[in-house]
Structure 1
Amino acid sequence: MKFGSHSIALYNNNEAFRVVLDSILGEGLSNNVKILCLGAESEFRVLKKTLLDRESSIDELLEAKSLELVETTQSYLRQGTFDPNGSIMFLEKAVMNALKEGFEGLYVAGTGTPILESGARIERLLEYEASVNDLVEELPLGATCLYDTARMDRKNVLEISRLHPYVYRMGEFSMNDDYCTAPDRAIGFDIASRLDICRGTADSLLQMFKIKSIYVEAHEDNVSRLAVAIADEMGLDSFTKTCIEMAGKIHDVGMISLFLDMISRPGPLQSFEWKLLQEHPRTGFELTKGVPFPDKVSNAILQHHERMDGSGYPNGLTGSEISLEGCILAVSEVVSAMSFYRPYRTIHGVKFALAEIVKNSGSLYHADVVESCLTVFRKGFSFG
């Protein structure tokens, strides 16, 4: 295998598992790369036996840092919970450490079956595998994901397999036919049909909202386009960008529960009206959870008026309690809204809006998101 490759190896007993490990070790040890194995102690025992058969000393490899063993509970399943974003960050950090240690890159072999056995939803695992495809294209990284088919549902095996361009079969790695025939590779996983349905639903909700909307400009489209541009600038994976695109289009859909004259008349809102307005993110969240949209979409809608210092609404979240998608939507919404006319104030303009997020970077708005927003405008982004 080479860097930029993401493969899957399926096995159903210890001997088949040992054969796969032997091949991985052969590839890794013959090159100046670090091998990172993610698994359980029982799997590490098979690895140690395999090294003995190869007449290699595991202690010497560990001391030379050519090999690192990390238990699943310290990588995928910290505190027993699977976090796709956290797992990707873990891999990114591991690659950087390998480079600092003088290796040309990192080769990861990780057992994925325990993730499903932990109770994690299959969608969360598929999200992670799709992100690994993006990661191996960006970093000097090769990854082989190992799954015990004896402990898995056949449908889940197929869904997971389709996210891997390469497969270990008959003693070697080769192109994965499942991957090549899977639909819409840009979306990243084989529940693409579900995302298509969600996208269509988002567009329908958007059209319904526009019938009632008092915005002169295409606010929802502007927020969506800017949010995706920011996400792209930040290097987020294709699945996350798809979710941000949908969330941007319907972030204000909860306003359909408000009275039209309340949101269209000039002047400030009454106190009870302001309280009603503050509930529109929660209403939007409930509407989108009923489709169901991916969690990233619903959570971004719920959080698009939250602020880093806790002064936002509806839940007064602070700092890391707000998802990155929510932070991106918050900045995009503010810049779009402040750039155009509203019944309760005069037009401010893009320059004023960008100055606003700069002034409150780190206090109200996520600093990295603000910087990325400024960058996309410097690169020529403009509202429609």
Structure 2
Amino acid sequence: MVEPAKTKGPRGRDVLSRLAVTVAVLVAVLACLDVALRIAAPASGIFRRTIDVQSPAALYTKLEEFRKFDGLKVAVLGDSLIFGRAMRDKGDTAWQSHTLSSQLQNWLAEKHPGQKVYVANFGMNGTLPTDLENLVRIVLPTKPDVIVFDLSLRSFSRDFDREGESRTRVWLDTLSVDANGTYSTGQGVGGIARWSHDALVNWWFLYRSRDFLQALWFDGSPFNFLVGLRDAADKWLQGSSGAKGDDLDDIVLLMRARSRYEKIDLAPDNPQRQALERTLRRVSEAKQPTLIFYATENPKVLPDLLPQQKFAELQAQLVQIITPQPPDRVYVGPLATLPASEFLDHVHLDKAGYGQLSAELGPRLDAMIGRR
């Protein structure tokens, strides 16, 4: 009987030694990258850039930048109107500097020379009052001087009280960040996978920043980036027919909006109204200065969405829900000062529109800051 060959002791130890050296080098390289990113990234201001937040780690990266800021800080929360990327989709390559948060940043910086100012954009496409409720809860421990958020009647469509449609980011339900910046995606749930993820996000800067940087550089992921390149190439090859495709997209968007508006209902049993009421109670109990404004519709398109009388009735109901307004809460209703020429579609604004909106909200925001 032939015995199996035995691994020679010195040779086996040599393999293990090389493996240990490789692992040690890899750990050292990752540690150096982590330290370099931890120092360089915040100093560059990269985490103040506006991204499409699609994960708790990406949101946490923005929150930590905001929490650690020492100066006048304002958190702007809301939907695609706050996010502002509709400008990019219509050809504005400098859209990040034209959003509401950017223009309010410039406005406050002029009013408070010599003082550090940070107006953070926490806008997310499709945000509903149920999502906003969670966002306010998560942002409050960062101690903003003022929270700003928008409301729209569309959000109270009965389409959004159906199973699976009542929120756009379910992960917000379990995400929490305490006043010390400790990140958690749900105590007692998820087992070892959740625990290890939370630990890595809290302690490993490179891991924490991964989702944010992918969203910034690849518009969500490398795959999304490649899809975007393909779509851009298709549009370039189509030439004038690409513009027709954009017009068709606008028509589809308007038809979808009209369907939503037909189902608007501010009844007490609407889960979106209930979420808004809980949010208002939360900011009042926290004595958190809060500026709320209505996402004004394009005056040229509004008659196609709702009859004037119905719109007025719904606005009156919305005001009734928001009032009474404590001294630390201000509500700004639909703005008649926004002309149709400054809208990209039924609700999204262009650079000039955001400038006009900033000019309307800026003095109110500054007055709230002055009362602090």
Common fold by TM > 0.5:
no
Alignment TM class, shorter chain as reference: under 0.3
- If asked which structure has higher relative contact order (CA below 8 Å, sep 6+), I would say 2
Q: TM-score, normalised by structure 2?
A: 0.26
Q: TM-score, normalised by structure 1?
A: 0.25
